[in-house]
Structure 1
């Protein structure tokens, strides 16, 4: 079985971060979201993976190639976001006659997809979808199911009057039969080839489309609040690890400190939290639920429930919370205000308060 990960698109809901970063490369707990997807497929036994890349293809390819994976990884270029089914269509040569897993590269799944993939492989169906219950089905692709037969009987994209609260999660088990379905559908009103339409064609033409239910949590990291929520969920799973130097600072809860990082006197790290490699934290309070990227410097600042990416310089900000701060940001304050502040700052921003 092969793996197909989608890492294209513009990520407009994550502006300004995605002006300079591909959204699937945004770090959660100091690891790009895309890496969780790759690791999940490898852990499920899939070692032949293609990644769909878009306008920021060089950035994605360079980041992925910097790691030695237990898999053969290739890249397929999609010139514009033309729909999930279009991404599958242009992957026909890679897939060949094999079954495959399509994985949206901005999705995170607790516990991974190994059980779902094993069930798909054993069931010999034409397709299999992973579903989860959602509060507002109107925002998602919704499935109507036959619980006894464990099959999907109908798919509806963002229904105005949902008949089900079961949403499609961004992990699909597919067979080469999906290419026939894609050849029979037309672009939607958005001008895109929708995978929901292709799957619905399979159902209408007598194919067996199975489903499984998410066990644990699932996150589609399409917005800032989703990124921060995913960061909290993953930080809850970390263990204590100290590869740096703690100089009379206070460490509480589960905290990971990277190589050559220094936590100086007068600082407090409240877990769960991650401090990357080569960081300096002085007279500051970090956490809970905060990730600090490599080579960052935090001085006289309090940060909680936030992601700070690599190379940031933050000085004398009394209280930062619920923030997403890009690479190499410089954030300083000269006044004595103690107001709590929230930021979403793109790479290399400079803010003086």
Structure 2
């Protein structure tokens, strides 16, 4: 069995962060979201993984390499235009050959991975197998209808959903999906929909199964999703401050993980919190569900339920920062000089809340 991970999206909902970095490389709990998908696939025993890349492909290649750090073989497959999930399968056809394969959306996170579902798919000898979860807003997803564990209908973003079971972006297929994709036409939005290919398989007598996943699932396509995914991962983290430099006046409470060469001075950290390498926290408060990446510096400030990416500096901020997603090498400070003014250099789609 092979796998493909779809990483060609532009990440428009995560701008301005995605103007300078692929959305699949944004860190969650200090690890790029794409790493979680690669690890989940590796844990299934799959060695050959194709990454479907678009205009941010060079960034992804530089970060991922050939897959050796995970013990897998990474191939890169270019999708110049995002013309649908089924179109990505078309682009990967030479890589996939006639093998069964797992298709995984690169910005997905699953608490329990995918290994048990692959086993169930093989045992049931399905031609296609989809993972589902119950959602409150089914009109925003591809929705499946089930009868006795088999999928009888799938619809992309229905106006009147017949169920609340959403396809979560993890699919297993055999070679028959290629015939299905060749038999469908682009949707009204000009894309080859994977839901249409699955429905073709159902209508033509192929065996399509499904499983409602256990544990949480997150699509990390929006800032609020990243913050929530960060919270969910930190919930399961264990305490480890063995390599941190913590002075006697600081308090480290709860599940806190701190990297190498990090200094905590006269500060309070209330977990769950993860802090990377070479971070400095001085006269500050770091509250629950916060991730600080490598090289971050926090001075005389308070922050919680936030993600701060590497080399950012925050200093002398009045009031507590909360629900923040802050990119690389950002400087946030409170001016101590007169006249007291606001001074901003902000990119497109930025968001600033002021006291």
Question: Normalised by the shorter chain, which TM-score bucket?
Answer: over 0.9
Secondary structure at the counterpart of residue 241 of structure 1: coil
Question: Structure 1 residues 346 and 212, CA, compared in 2 at 3 Å: closer, same or farther?
Answer: farther
Structure 2 SS opposite 1:170: strand
CA distance, structure 2, for counterparts of residue 335 and residue 323 of structure 1: 23
Distance in 2 between residues matched to 1:108 and 1:26, nearest whole Å: 13
Shifted more, 63-72 versus 326-335: the winner is 63-72
Q: Which runs of 4+ in 1 moved over 6 A?
A: none
1:49 and 2:52 aligned: no
Deviation at 1:278, TM superposition (A): 0.7
The 5 Å alignment of 1:217-232 reads 217-232=216-231
Aligned residue in 2 for 1:23: 23
* Aligned equivalent of 2:175: 176
Separation (CA, whole Å) in 2 of partners of 1:164 and 1:335: 57
Change (3 A) 1:218 1:162: same
**2:122 alignment partner in structure 1:** 121
Residue in structure 2 matched with residue 339 of structure 1 by the alignment: none
1:282–1:346: structure 2 CA closer, same or farther, 3 Å change rule? Answer: farther
Q: Find the counterpart in structure 2 of residue 214 from structure 1.
A: 213
Q: Distance in 2 between matches of 1:82 and 1:214?
A: 28
Deviations 1:174-224 (A, max 9, x none): 111111111111111221111111111111111110001110100011111
- Aligned residues between the structures: 340
Question: 2:82 & 2:287 partners in 1: Cα distance?
Answer: 37
Q: Work out the CA distance in 1 between the residues paired with 2:159 and 2:193.
A: 18
Q: Which residue in the other structure is 1:166 paired with? A: 165
* 1:294-309 alignment, distance < 5 Å: 294-309=294-309
Structure 2: gaps (5+ residues): 338-343
Q: Which residue of 2 aligns with 1:192?
A: 191
Question: 2: CA distance between counterparts of 1:190 and 1:260?
Answer: 51
TM-score using structure 2 length: 0.93
SS, match of residue 219 in structure 1: strand
| Cα root mean square deviation, aligned | 1.8
For 1:346 and 1:38, how far apart are their aligned partners in 2?
31
Q: Which runs of 5+ in 1 are unaligned?
A: 337-342
Deviation at 1:255, TM superposition (A): 0.4
Say if 1:326 and 1:346, in contact at 8 Å, map to a contact too: no
Asked if the contact 1:329–1:346 (Cα under 8 Å) also holds between the matched residues in 2, the reply is: no
Determine if contact 1:3/1:48 at 8 Å carries over to the other structure. Answer: yes
User: Which secondary structure state, in structure 2, belongs to the residue aligned with residue 9 of structure 1?
Assistant: coil
* Alpha carbons of structure 1 residues 32 and 67: separation in structure 2 relative to 1, 3 Å: farther
Please give the TM-score of this superposition, normalised by the length of structure 1.
0.93
Distance 2:254 2:110 in 1: 24
Give 1:160 shift: 1.1
Instruction: State the 1:118 CA deviation.
Output: 1.1
SS at match of 1:24: helix
Partner residue, 1:70: 71
- Bigger drift between 67-76 and 92-101 goes to 67-76
Matches within 5 A, 1:101-112: 101-112=102-113
2:340 corresponds in structure 1 to: none
Match of 2:341 in 1: none
State the shift of 1:274 in Å: 0.5
Match of residue 291 from structure 1: 291
- Does structure 1 residue 257 correspond to structure 2 residue 277? no
* Matched residue SS, 2:200: helix
Output the CA distance in 1 between the equivalents of 2:188 and 2:159: 16
